[in-house]
Amino acid sequence: MLSRMCGGFGMLGLASALGSPIPAHFAPRAKRVIFLFLNGGPSHVDTFDPKPALAKNEGKQPEGNLFKQAKGNGFMPSPFAFKSCGQSGIEVCETLPHLGAIIDDCCIIRSMHTDVPNHEPALLQMHTGNVQPIRPSLGSWLLYGLGNENENLPGYVVLRPTPKIVVGPALWSNSFLPAEYQATSVITSDMNVEKLVANIRNPHITPGEQREQLDVLGELNRMHLSARNGDAELNGQIKTMETAFRMQSAAMETFDISREPASVRARYGETPFARSCLLARRLAEAGVRCTTVYYTSSDNQPWDTHNNHNERHPKLCADAGKAAAALISDLKQRGLLEDTLVVFSGEFGRTPYSENKDKTKAGRDHHHTAFSTLLAGGGVRGGYVHGATDELGMNAVDKPVHVHDLHATMLHLLGLDHERLTYRYAGRDFRLTDVHGHVVRDIIA
């Protein structure tokens, strides 16, 4: 009861014999997830939610029930044009030409909303379903529900270009789920493999020497085991040591993006986020269940454009859009998109109105009652727009999708019923979606 033998990151050892700990609730559309997270909150009215009415209402102060009083110069139209893209004709901002080009593979939810327009609670809600740091993350839930696909690699990998990130590790916490469902966090500022993964190699001895060490260690452990009537847990330790040994070479190879041809690297771009996206593709290919790529920089949360929005936002879009589009088409080319769910989103959107008086430095504030999320692959309906905001982009009005609904839908695509994926803790059964969430069936192909 207390000890559970597990030989791997996900569910190896005992559990691997059984597949995953929980039988799939229904046939999965996706096997893995890549979450491209835009820290700080991108502006929906400058990306996927065109609002021509903002021009007519420019300068008018927003009315109604606002989270905080608007102090800027009223409604602020996007200075960028929206273009009808692909067969589907979905309108996408010109700052995202690469995503526009593959929009027929993508689904845009324009009616997202979350509970709190502050980074910490909104980040936590998007990652764990709860606004306090006391619940397991989506990735840990997935690992718990599905187990690992590749026993030589971690099942849940977090990639971030900077060590600093708002909220921090609580975003990928396994919380009360057992430690085997924890994320492996990788800082991608230096893509040198040995710097990426802690303890992945012993730089002081030769691989041959380490193999000899392992041979002696294995033999000693087996003698120890046979004197103890073949204790299954001890046997699990022996197997895991061998897995770790193999993981060194598997990880060294998988995490090494320098093995990619220059042409592929160029398609993604040469930025920290782009390189992380490329690494995410390699991980997906190798069977990593869940990868989160964060868009962080020395700026901490670059998408948090409280000032100079019109200057900063398009630059971020250029980088993130290019890398995300490259990732999606790369996955497609390799036949991986059909069972890899890609999500491209921030924790909330940005106000359709400006937040500071100085027009030359105008910014947009946090906005939680409406934002856009892009999904691709993994059974998602391509070339489809779900839901709508009002004409000024203030509130999700048509088919609103709460973060809980997004979670329920993601789990559904992975073959898990969000109401049945439960873990008994502290006397009750916990869920990622708590007591909320509806599967958004319209976005499923």
In the window 103-132, what residues touch another protein (CB under 8 A)? 116, 118, 120-121, 132
Quote the CA–CA distance of 330 and 264 in Å, as a whole number.
9
Closer CB to another protein, 212 or 358, in the complex: 212
For another protein, the closer CB: 103 or 440: 440
Q: Match 């999606």 to its residue by tokens.
A: 328
| Site residue total, another protein (CB under 8 A) | 81
Is position 271 an interface residue for another protein (rule: CB under 8 A)?
A: no
One residue of 94, 104, 233, 391 binding another protein per CB under 8 A:
233
| Binding flag, residue 225, another protein (CB under 8 A) | yes
The stretch near another protein (CB under 8 A) out of 81-89, 200-208, 268-276, 318-326 is 200-208
Reference 143, options 303, 7, 22, 259; nearest CA is 22
**Interaction with another protein in 13-32: which residues (CB under 8 A)?**
13
> Using the rule CB under 8 A, is 445 a contact of another protein?
no
Interacting residues with another protein between 56 and 75 (CB under 8 A): none
**Gap between the Cα atoms of 318 and 40, Å rounded:** 16
Residue 321 has, within 13 A of its CA and on its CB side, a CA count of 22
Q: How far is the CB of 159 from another protein (least distance, A)?
A: 17
Phi-psi region of 437 (alpha: psi -120 to 50; beta: other; left: phi over 0): left
- Cβ 285 to another protein shortest distance, Å: 20
Residue 438 binds to another protein (criterion: CB under 8 A):
yes
- Give, to the nearest 10 degrees, the angle between helix 138-146 and helix 403-413: 30
| Closest distance to another protein from the beta carbon of 443 (Å) | 11
Kindly give, in sequence order, each residue whose CB lies less than 8 Å from that of residue 304, ignoring residues fewer than 6 positions away. 39, 40, 41, 119, 366
Least separation in angstroms between residue 51's CB and another protein is 23
Which amino acid belongs to residue 404? H
Report the distance separating Cα 89 and Cα 83, nearest Å.
8
Minimum gap (Å) between residue 66 Cβ and another protein: 17
DSSP 337: G
Give me the 128-157 binding string for another protein, x by CB under 8 A, dash otherwise. ----xxx-------------------x---
Q: Measured in whole angstroms, how far is the alpha carbon of residue 130 from the centre of its chain?
A: 16
